[in-house]
Amino acid sequence: MKIVTLDEFIIRRQNDFEYATGELTALLRDIGVAAKIVNREVNKAGLVNILGMDGSQNASGDTVQKLDIYANEKLIECLSNSGECAAIASEELDKYVEVPRVEGKSPKYIVVFDPLDGSSNIDVNVSVGTIFGILRRKTDPSVPVSMDDFLQSGAEMVAAGYVLYGTSTILVYTTGNGVNGFTLDPSIGEFCLSHRDIKMPTSGQFYSVNQGYYLKFDVEMRRYIDHCSDMNYGLRYIGSMVSDIHRILFQGGIFLYPNTRKYPKGKLRLLYECAPLSFVVEQAGGRAITLGRNRIMDLKPKSLHQNVTIAIGSPDTVTEMEEFLEKYAVKLI
Ligand code: AHG
């Protein structure tokens, strides 16, 4: 069978867009390059004792960085390559940053990302991921980027995806025409098309939630979790949203991060995590809502780092959970 590389696929798909000029294509390729560089470092993470701990100096005299900071820097560097990215906002940074202009370019796009989601898993050799979303800027390319360019809903994203650094490394993305996955072949250093037009099961027998917080959840969420247990649904929770959602994409089920007493508005970020992953999941036939029962993709962020509650996964499973919210939520008189 003929191997289709990520670059080849992206270029072929450029024709899906009317008036496409290759700018989005170039951006996706920049992200693919960053993913390969981050992958290389993630794979070396177990060698910190040999190569040097975070903050220390390695054998070459370079200071060893925390991997999430490293991933952040590499993404910014790679997104500066094509000159098609005007600015970025990252979970690792307080404010958005403008990307240095490449001569002759007037970039129309901005990129939001979580460079290394679930990074606390690195020390114990468990999967982590990168999540990204691409937005068309609202302001004219001739003026500086503004906050309004970033505060757009998931429905306005033109592309989104993730990279999972797992037993193998896979890049999954959508431009609104289905979802495709590319596995990194380390022998040739290329992402190769491995999962074409991914469609998730309409329901599933897995639920993914930090059940340690059970007593901190609202009553309707506790009733739903009881139901999952009654139905013998399997509980799977890695503590890395990308990994948990990746499994659900293929095996079906639901991922939940509800409000707790510690995080009354949820812990996960709308712009960097929930909106891009909702775009992917919806394109694969799934659903993503808040526990206030609003579609995640419709939410316009009020700030860059806004948190949101989330229930995401197979459409019938999310709808089943929604019925519990409806039935058991405390109704204030
Ligand atoms: P971080 O990047 O700070 O490690 O956070 C990971 C996120 C998400 O990926 C995961 O699902 C969730 O936080 C885990 O949070 P809890 O430990 O509270 O369950």
- What is the DSSP track for 161-210? EEEEESSSEEEEEESSS-EEEEEEETTTTEEEEEE-S----SS-SEEE--
276 Cα distance to chain centroid = 5
Residue 222 binned pLDDT confidence (cut-offs 50, 70, 90): very high
Contact criterion met (CB below 8 Å) for 255 and 110? no
283 to 132, 149, 279: CA distances (angstroms): 15, 23, 6
Report residue 65 as tokens: 């960085």
The percent of residues in the chain predicted with pLDDT above 90, rounded, is 76
Instruction: Pinpoint the residues of the chain covered by CATH 3.40.190.80.
Output: 206-326
pLDDT at 15 over 60: yes
pLDDT in tens, 177-212: 999 999 999 999 999 999 999 999 999 999 999 999
Report residue 253 as tokens: 């089920």
Q: What is the mean pLDDT of residues 153-166?
A: 96
The residue type at 91: E
CB atoms within 10 A of CB 9: 18
Instruction: Pinpoint the residues of the chain covered by CATH 3.30.540.10.
Output: 6-195
pLDDT in tens, 83-141: 999 999 999 999 999 998 888 888 999 999 999 998 888 878 889 999 999 999 999 98
Contact criterion met (CB below 8 Å) for 117 and 245? no
CA–CA separation, 25 and 322 (whole Å) = 37
pLDDT at 43 over 90: no
Distance 123 CA to ligand 1 centre (A): 14
Amino acid 144: pLDDT: 92
Residue 19 binned pLDDT confidence (cut-offs 50, 70, 90): low
Q: Which CATH architecture has domain 6-195?
A: 2-Layer Sandwich (3.30)
pLDDT at 291 over 80: yes
Distance 252 CA to ligand 1 centre (A): 20
- Say yes or no: CB of residue 123 within 6 Å of ligand 1: no
- Say yes or no: CB of residue 119 within 6 Å of ligand 1: yes
Distance 18 CA to ligand 1 centre (A): 38
CA–CA separation, 271 and 113 (whole Å) = 8
pLDDT in tens, 294-323: 999 999 999 999 999 999 999 999 999 999
131 to 11, 76, 91, 328: CA distances (angstroms): 21, 14, 10, 33
CA–CA separation, 138 and 140 (whole Å) = 7
If one compares 60 and 42, the residue with the highest pLDDT of the two is 42
- Say yes or no: CB of residue 152 within 6 Å of ligand 1: no
Amino acid 206: pLDDT: 97
CA–CA separation, 14 and 26 (whole Å) = 10
* Lowest pLDDT segment from 20-29, 49-58, 214-223, 257-266: 49-58
Amino acid 246: pLDDT: 98
Tell how strand 85-90 and strand 169-174 pair up: unpaired
Distance 120 CA to ligand 1 centre (A): 8
Residues 6+ apart with CB under 8 A from 148: 138, 139
CATH of domain 206-326: 3.40.190.80
Say which DSSP state 255 is in.
E
Amino acid 12: pLDDT: 84
Distance 238 CA to ligand 1 centre (A): 9
- Say yes or no: CB of residue 240 within 6 Å of ligand 1: yes
Residues 6+ apart with CB under 8 A from 312: 245, 248, 254, 255, 256, 274, 277, 278, 281, 286, 287, 288, 289, 296, 318
Return the residue whose CA atom lies nearest to atom 11 of ligand 1.
Answer: 241
pLDDT at 150 over 60: yes
Q: Model pTM? A: 0.94
E-assigned strand segments in the chain: 85-90, 97-98, 109-117, 128-136, 157-165, 169-174, 179-185, 190-195, 206-208, 234-235, 254-257, 268-269, 287-289, 307-308, 310-313
